[in-house]
Amino acid sequence: MTNLKNSFNSTEVDSLKVRIPFNQVTVLDEKLQGTKITYLEETGEQLREFKDNALKFKTNGISTRFAIEIMPTDSKGNKKEYLTILINAKLLKQRYFEGITAQNITDVYNDLIAFKVAYFSLESLLGGFCTDVDFKTDTRLPIDDYSELIRFFKANAKSHEAYRAFNKKTNKGIQFSNRETKSFKTKPFWKLYHKETELFYHSEEFKKQYLVGQNLKDLIRFEFTIKNNQHLKALKINSNTLNSILSLTDDVKKGILKSTLQVHLETYMREIKTREGMQPTDELLHNLLLLAMDKGMSFETVQFIVLSSFSDKVAKARKKSQLNKIYREYIQGSKKDISTKNIQGVLELIGLFDQ
């Protein structure tokens, strides 16, 4: 059984399309010939939709699609054929939360070959060209803190039109832009949703078949999409082969997640109400602490940052004692204090706060 603890916090591939040059493929199922999809040279549009026309397999909640795509190679009308496969991490079954990695790609390959649609080598799969790459980062957050996290993103959004929040029985979260966006530099897509709830309402068949006994409580997921080779190059990644995608370090993937989020976010201000009787200096420090905590930083982190420039040890100790007193008397144990500690852990995970 998958060790979920080891599957969390890293950023891995959840799904993607892989195009394998057709001259590296042996067709085993003649129905594949009826799936041909041609791209227009001028616009890059599909004459037929991939998902609608691909050869589709769905078993126990796992969907996989195969199609032949005909792509223009130049402005002279030359074209090239590819076998294109839509691959989902659910192929890993009980190891779903691992995501698709260099360590388990052989298992994914064996499952693809087992469909007996086409034969190709593992090397051809790894050398295939990737588009529509969905990355995911899983972690845990109690539901009350998760609601606070969504409010954090709403409050920090550059505009209310930039996001779509959803709060339904079947799922709860927020997304910025959409998967189909062509403005991946200025409006990249990312989404946060409650994975525990999504699995219960939308992936029940898969969950019952493969995730029995796994602790799904408080599981949340961040997703972001890299559309194509142009998008990768904009991120300074020079190859879109599957091997290159699976070779990206976690730091690089976290950096992409961080930059994707930051495109849509900015700081914000709010009015703070404090208790009567506080000394003006204490009130000022109290307000500054809460402003920082509103942005997801724990008291301990705020204190460390504001005192880090002090060279005078006596003065530093005095101010640290003053901050501790304010924290103990007015902040410690509050919902904001507890929530902030949990939220900061998530924000550190996705790179919005550097350790």
Output the pLDDT for position 268: 47
pLDDT for position 48: 55
Q: What is the dihedral of CA 150, 182, 69, 24, to 10 degrees?
A: -80
pLDDT digits (tens, 9 = 90+) for 78-101: 889 999 999 999 999 999 999 999
Give the pLDDT score at 47: 41
| Span 21-28, average pLDDT | 97
Which residues on neighbouring strands pair with residue 82, listed in sequence order?
21, 69
- Rounded distance between C-alpha atoms, residue 248 and residue 240, angstroms: 11
The mean predicted confidence, pLDDT, of the chain is 88
Which residues is 27 bridged to in the sheet?
118
Average pLDDT over residues 256-274: 74
Q: Are 163 and 176 in contact (CB under 8 A)?
A: yes
Q: How far apart (Å, rounded) are the C-alpha atoms in residues 253 and 187?
A: 18
Percent of the chain whose pLDDT exceeds 70: 91
pLDDT value of residue 42: 40
282-314: per-residue pLDDT in tens?
888 888 888 888 766 789 888 988 999 999 999
- CA nearest neighbour of 84 among 136, 40, 32, 47: 32
pLDDT at 53 over 90: no
Residue-wise pLDDT for 7-19, tens only, equals 568 999 999 999 9
pLDDT 10s digits, 326-342? 999 888 988 888 888 88
The angle that helices 280-294 and 313-326 make with each other, rounded to 10 degrees, is: 80
Interval 136-190: pLDDT, tens: 999 999 999 999 899 889 988 888 888 999 999 999 999 999 888 888 888 999 9
Which tokens hold the place of 79? 């074209």
The SS3 assignment for 336 reads helix
pLDDT of residue 43: 37
Confidence bin at 272 (pLDDT 50/70/90): low
Task: State pTM to two decimals.
Answer: 0.77
